[in-house]
Chain A
Amino acid sequence: MSDTTSSRAFDVVVLRQDGPGRPSYWQRFAVPYEADMNVISALQKIAAMGRTADGKAVSPVVWDCNCLEEVCGACTMVINGKVRQACTALVDRLLEDNPEAIELRPMTKFPVVRDLMVDRSRMFATLKKIKAWLPVDSYYDIGEAARQSQENQQIAYELSKCMTCGCCLEACPQYLKIELVRHEGESDEAFHARETEAFFRSFMGASAIAQVDLFNTNPTGAMTSRDRLDALVSEGGIQVCGNAQNCVQVCPKDIPLTTSIARMGRAATVHTLKQWFDR
């Protein structure tokens, strides 16, 4: 695909939705071809054109993105049926697979905010549930960090590359969408509390399980590993995992999610037995 001079266009079809609870609908756009395009640059062109393939003026497609180099995790969407980051989805490759059109849909496991933008606040709430942080004493200069082996660093670094993009959750058969509707007259705080409770009770998914692994293998994190294991075996915890192993296949950062799930599964078993004996 080195054809840079022709003025041909390619089609992009987008599953749009004007807001939460609204019906979705397809729209087709004809995007002028340029070399080295990705899905983001196609969406930028669609925004600038403001017209569908048949010339109808429409509002620009809404989507989420920031870094455009697959490190921020914002631009996850379903592209030609596969969940992935839009920035590394190269137009040439996509057209090789399907010359007819590039198909863009929002993720299905999160509530649609508008068009391709979804609300992934559940993922960040889950990080609270599992206490995904190191409970250090303070931020003052109070001494050196623990030494760590190269091997340990390599494992931790891989897990720590998780950018909370949600690909693993989109592909997971056990991770189901939660979309709450605000009650009449319900305050922000009340709605938020109800939402958090629902999030905490439903499946945490592969990304959160791998984060428990990350923090529990850190020398400081290990001191509070029990708190995280409690969360891991609570309602919506690791026991919900059905071992479909889809997560590891779609992770854009190649995080060994299933290795973490296995390791955490063993830790959870030991933890539960210990709890049982300690009673």
Chain B
Amino acid sequence: MTRPKVVVVGGGLAGLSATMQLAQLSIDVDIVSLTPVKRSHSCCAQGGINSVNNLTRQLGDNEWKHFDDTVYGGDFLQHQPPVNEMAQWAPKIIELMDRLGVTFNRTPEGFRDQRRFGGTLYARTAFAGATTGQQLLYALDEQVRRWEEHGHVTKHEFWEYLGPILDDSGVCCGCVVQDLVSMEIRSLRADALIIASGGCGLIYGRSTMSMACTGSAASRTYQAGVHYANGEFIQVHPTAIPGADKLRLMSESARGEGGRVWVSRIPQDPRHPTEIPAADRYYFLEDRYPKYGNLVPRDIATREIFNVCTKEGLSVEKDRMCVYLDVSHLPSDELDRKLGGILEIYEKFQGVDPRKVPMKIFPAVHYSMGGLWCDYARTAAGGLHVGSPRNHETNVPGLYAIGECDYHYHGANRLGANSLIACIFSGLITGTGVANRMKSADRPLAAERASTLFDQACQGKQADYKALLARDGRGGNPYDIHQELGKVMTQAATVVRHNPDLEKALAKVHELQERAKTCSLSDMGNWTNQNVVFTRALQDMFPIAKTILKGALARDECRGAHFKPEFTMPHVDAEAPSERRRQAEAWCDRFEENNRKWLKSTIARLGPDGEPELSYEEVDTSLIPPRPRLYGIVGGEVIEEVWKERSRGAAHE
């Protein structure tokens, strides 16, 4: 008997958890991955995975507070029901991952240890040393290998996804893939296609992301008609180690375990950091945010570090911007047990022992909050209908998006240690929903359909591939074009954004896109041709780069990671209490007005001319009303006070 089949593109946490859930429900899965799935980018996640736990619960924490921290951290730009559901599942997912053998750190009594992460006041984060993502990935990889052995899962590793196949009525029924060793192009029939291809950091040239994170799979899906939402929300992580080939992440867990960020009050202080006395050290995050200290959310930490270097001129080095991240005051054995993995990375690449000498770090592009648009099925109580095939389904029926390449959960800024939980949650819930989709018998199985559709799709991609190989050698160099693209994007669309810069960047990216259309290959061969893979990925970076830039240009406000100095909120800086109060009232008026105008998601669709067309989608904020996002900043108390009065007034009305 012919059985339904699902194809999953990408084998990180999201793709693997969807796969194992489908396999458990007796659905056959084909996984397509650029690398052996065990080498997926999820292995780079370091610090941990969030959930309310027995310990925080007794300090007043609960699932709702995890949910609240997440939407507050995301500046209220995410639909709330999926986040609510995720927070409910989080403690169960941690327990599951523990059962699957993840080597979580333990307390002396043998319980899971937890640490505090950014944007929360509770120690919610379970961790396995400082390589939590690697350990979670391995546990899922092992389970999927088990299903592979059972015959439910087939892996296509070193295969590339070239695009979905849609039938005449616009329903997805498979995809075209290419074997990157033999370069053979073929189709995979699928009764559902799940894109779990991760982030798009390589659009920025160097980032904290792995080499597979080109965004090309998401881009090919977008170019086939799936909408792309909130592209402009790119997380720049506050602490990374600059490098020639990539910017290596230095986990937030370094601060979670007590690490402190500082600079000398004397610009480019020539003294060795260990010789700079306490009086000359400026712990700027702790000074400005006494409540959260070094654990303010990432967008805020990043802007503060950026400002202290650019506006205040206090960068530690003159030629290269950086600040100190200091863990040298913490006990060395504890550091090894809890942060060993990341301290080794620093030591290996910088040749300095961070247990003794403060690290030098600077922000780097890290995560895309936005991604492929997808749906969800809301319950009346504000959660998700578990088992609904609508959860994570894109606007193309039968085509799903999960993990970093979807746009749910993180809004305008992601909290640390929330990505791992979101990836696994979206995989599990989508696995269940897709399995239910398989049960409805109102359409023919992909395996039983006429082959014309699949053959034509393959021929199209084959023709593109041949045309690429046949280009004459007079065009530009794809590697150089990629470098230029990275430079343009990093300058215009990271920490600080200005409209004139974004306009210029759009024009420049367009010009680069045109040049990429004729760029030359240096390898015309038909065996393991990485030159083809790179050039094709480069071409597919432009549509996403344009949605990022165009979305950022249109959005005239500051929200989470998207910061435009021209549209910052008014200052509350008066000395006299009455005037201060008046300023706070004006601040709150402006806040409400801005939310009416901009509390909405950007939706990009590819227009007939190949350019993104923007529209906007209302955000479901029905569970937790939006409020000013101040994180206890010094001087912000009066705003909180005015806001509280207004909320009380609104509640009484």
Contacts and interface: CB of A to CB of B under 8 A. Distances in A.
Interface string B102-114: 0111111111000
A136 B528 contact: no
Q: Which of A66, A87, A143 has the most CB atoms of chain B within a 10 A radius of its CB?
A: A66
Given A128-B145, A139-B20, A74 B95 contact: no
B522 A57 contact: yes
A160 B104 CA distance: 11
Nearest to A93: B351
Interface stretch (B36-44, B500-508, B555-563, B609-617): B36-44
A136 to B, nearest CB: 6
Given A19-B528, A60-B531, A74-B39, A157 B523 contact: no
A135 B101 CA distance: 10
Contacts of B428: 139
B145 A136 contact: no
A121 to B, nearest CB: 8
Contacts of B480: 48
A115 to B, nearest CB: 8
B149 A128 contact: yes
Given A153-B103, A160-B138, A124 B145 contact: yes
A88 interface: yes
B210 A18 contact: no
A221 B143 CA distance: 13
Contact of A66 (B41, B135, B244, B534): B41
Report the contact-size class of chain B (Cβ under 8 Å from the partner): 35 or more
B456 interface: no
Report the contact-size class of chain A (Cβ under 8 Å from the partner): 35 or more
Contacts of B99: 134, 136, 145, 220
B138 to A, nearest CB: 6
A47 B479 contact: yes
Given A48-B477, A65-B211, A161-B131, A149 B244 contact: no
Contact of B104 (A47, A73, A153): A153
Contacts of B145: 124, 127-128, 132-133
Contact of B100 (A136, A152, A153): A136
B567 to A, nearest CB: 36
Given A44-B245, A149-B110, A163-B134, A88 B41 contact: no
B528 A113 contact: yes
A78 to B, nearest CB: 19
Nearest to A145: B98
A148 interface: yes
Nearest to B110: A147
Contacts of B246: 68-69
B110 A73 contact: no
A267 interface: no
B527 A149 contact: no
A258 interface: no
B103 A69 contact: no
A72 interface: yes
B24 A139 contact: yes
B525 interface: yes
Given A50-B522, A59-B523, A69 B345 contact: yes
8 contacts: A35-B244, A68-B210, A72-B39, A88-B348, A90-B349, A139-B143, A141-B95, A150-B108
Interface of A: 18-19, 34-38, 40-41, 44, 47-48, 50, 57-60, 62, 64-74, 87-88, 90, 113-114, 117, 120, 124, 127-128, 131-136, 138-139, 141, 143-145, 147-150, 152-154, 156-157, 160-161, 163-164, 215, 218, 220-221
Given A36-B349, A160-B135, 4 more contacts: A133-B145, A147-B111, A161-B131, A161-B134
**9 closest A-B pairs by CB:** A145-B98, A48-B479, A59-B523, A147-B110, A50-B522, A133-B142, A41-B245, A114-B528, A72-B39
